[in-house]
Structure 1
């Protein structure tokens, strides 16, 4: 999936919730002030539920949101539709899936490339929480039922469903992502992958991190639609030179992807965002081009 953006400008963005603001315009100004052009939008950044329901969904004007960001030089790359797709309670899962399907169907005018998902956990309190049963076939089957129910809404809206391999979720890494592609068959064209180097190397021995990232980018690169920028340690440590993720390697892998995709900063504070953005520009974009 090609992101239609001039390649002379780095496709660099951030999670919108880094900048909690009362209005869309205020949020768009924050992105403009920090020269960030790609927005991964969670409506919680505007004080709304991540997945709006009822009157909140009916009042939502996704086209106006995209226009407002456009006036300030950015674009809403993706919109969060995260919920626990593998929740252990089938009633919770059923209701949340139905709400998410309605929300995703309403994104047709958003201009977004993707609706971002969580592939779920058996932890009932935290969709990204670790739980021993998350690796079970039962959890995988429940995640698949949730995902399958969302596919028609995504196709109707013209957005991709973005899956991020995360170690505590059902799609825990490259092998599980490849399994999902194989199982979906033609429906795999409705999904794309977010590659997060910090997640991919979480728990991986230092000597194996390079090969782990190289394999992930090689195996999933043709379906990659975003790369996340964070570290396995807080950004303060990374900025002080004590980071774990090899961002020079990430820059080379990102540059080798068969299509241009945005790099979206995660887990930075608003006071750190300029320094983090400078690091990413230097080591991912400028470094790869050198």
Structure 2
């Protein structure tokens, strides 16, 4: 069992310094979004990666006893601007090609969103076509595509993610589960049902998980908090996680550096309560 962290929570640093800092906080793996976390190489445009550079980054992390469990991208995959969408797709495919040199089994993404969430059948059709294209590349390179549902995104619920997996039935597509992304003002009162449904529909496809928290404020708004600082039912989350996917990597989100030790300990202690079933 291992709790990792989003690398860019430490800011943007030279990759060797980043690896050392991650280790200094006791983490043994990271989700690495290179253009958010690495400052000494300009990854804002595709084409910079090579086997040598990827191996150098991997070696810097390995030297510190840290592995790259997930590559993140934060790209929009059904952008209605075709040129932007194609650039995003090609950037993701570049990550798929070099993931093995970085030691990363998974390249993950959320679908993207538009303000207001006024999505069309054309948006869904485009997303399906893009996912099929990415899955084909993932199969070629022996890497997983990790798809994550997020409230307000085109794929925003466990049911929508399950439907997308049914439409694109590739064994190289897995789920990055984040219950915090599924909870909002309309359903936090019945959060146990939301979490249980997510595992029922997606549990066998989970390849990595995220850990943050959600808090219902007095004004009725739900806000995001670090793990252990909110009201999410982590007892249920960790119990089901051990039942469905023991030893799966958990990646911590949201926490400031001064909160990380407490959040990591909270997740680990809660998970240890539940034996592998």
TM-score (norm 1): 0.84
**Relative to structure 1, is the Cα distance of residues 73 and 237 closer, same or farther in structure 2, using a 3 angstrom cutoff?**
closer
- Runs of 4+ off more than 6 Å: none
1:15 and 2:31 equivalent?
A: no
Matching residue of 2:217: none
1:173 and 2:173 equivalent?
A: no
Q: Distance in 2 between matches of 1:50 and 1:172?
A: 28
Residue 236 of structure 1 deviates from its aligned partner by 6.6
1:251 and 2:238 equivalent?
A: yes
Matching residue of 2:22: 31
Residue 52 of structure 1 deviates from its aligned partner by 4.4
- SS of aligned partner of 1:261: coil
Q: Distance in 2 between matches of 1:272 and 1:213?
A: 25
Contact 1:51 1:100 (C-alpha < 8 Å) held by counterparts: no
Residue 114 of structure 1 deviates from its aligned partner by 0.5
Superimposed CA distance per residue, residues 107-131 of structure 1 (whole angstroms, 9 cap, x where no aligned partner): 232211100112122x2xxxxxx43
**Relative to structure 1, is the Cα distance of residues 203 and 139 closer, same or farther in structure 2, using a 3 angstrom cutoff?**
farther
Task: Give 1:267's match in structure 2, choosing from 229, 254, 266.
Answer: 254
Q: Distance in 2 between matches of 1:275 and 1:71?
A: 26
Unaligned regions of 5+ residues in structure 2, if any? 215-222
- SS of aligned partner of 1:39: strand
Matching residue of 1:133: 118
1:159 and 2:151 equivalent?
A: no
1:235 and 2:219 equivalent?
A: no
Q: Distance in 2 between matches of 1:24 and 1:116?
A: 20
Contact 1:79 1:114 (C-alpha < 8 Å) held by counterparts: yes
Task: Give 1:277's match in structure 2, choosing from 257, 264, 267.
Answer: 264
Superimposed CA distance per residue, residues 208-229 of structure 1 (whole angstroms, 9 cap, x where no aligned partner): 2101101111221111011111
Residue 57 of structure 1 deviates from its aligned partner by 2.5
Is the strand fraction higher in 1 or 2? 2
Q: Superposed, which structure 2 residues align to 1:27-106 within 5 Å?
A: 27-43=18-34, 44-47=36-39, 48=41, 52-54=45-47, 56-58=48-50, 61-106=53-98
Contact 2:77 2:89 (C-alpha < 8 Å) held by counterparts: yes
Contact 1:167 1:202 (C-alpha < 8 Å) held by counterparts: yes
TM-score (norm 2): 0.87
Q: Distance in 2 between matches of 1:60 and 1:190?
A: 26
Matching residue of 2:220: none
Aligned pair count reads 266
Matching residue of 1:3: none
**Relative to structure 1, is the Cα distance of residues 236 and 15 closer, same or farther in structure 2, using a 3 angstrom cutoff?**
closer
What's the Cα RMSD here? 2.2
Contact 2:54 2:101 (C-alpha < 8 Å) held by counterparts: yes
Matching residue of 2:274: 288
Contact 2:78 2:112 (C-alpha < 8 Å) held by counterparts: yes
Residue 60 of structure 1 deviates from its aligned partner by 6.3
Residue 184 of structure 1 deviates from its aligned partner by 1.2
Residue 244 of structure 1 deviates from its aligned partner by 1.8
**Relative to structure 1, is the Cα distance of residues 114 and 50 closer, same or farther in structure 2, using a 3 angstrom cutoff?**
farther
Superimposed CA distance per residue, residues 71-98 of structure 1 (whole angstroms, 9 cap, x where no aligned partner): 2222100111331101121222123212
**Relative to structure 1, is the Cα distance of residues 203 and 51 closer, same or farther in structure 2, using a 3 angstrom cutoff?**
farther
Residue 258 of structure 1 deviates from its aligned partner by 3.9
Unaligned regions of 5+ residues in structure 1, if any? 1-9, 124-129
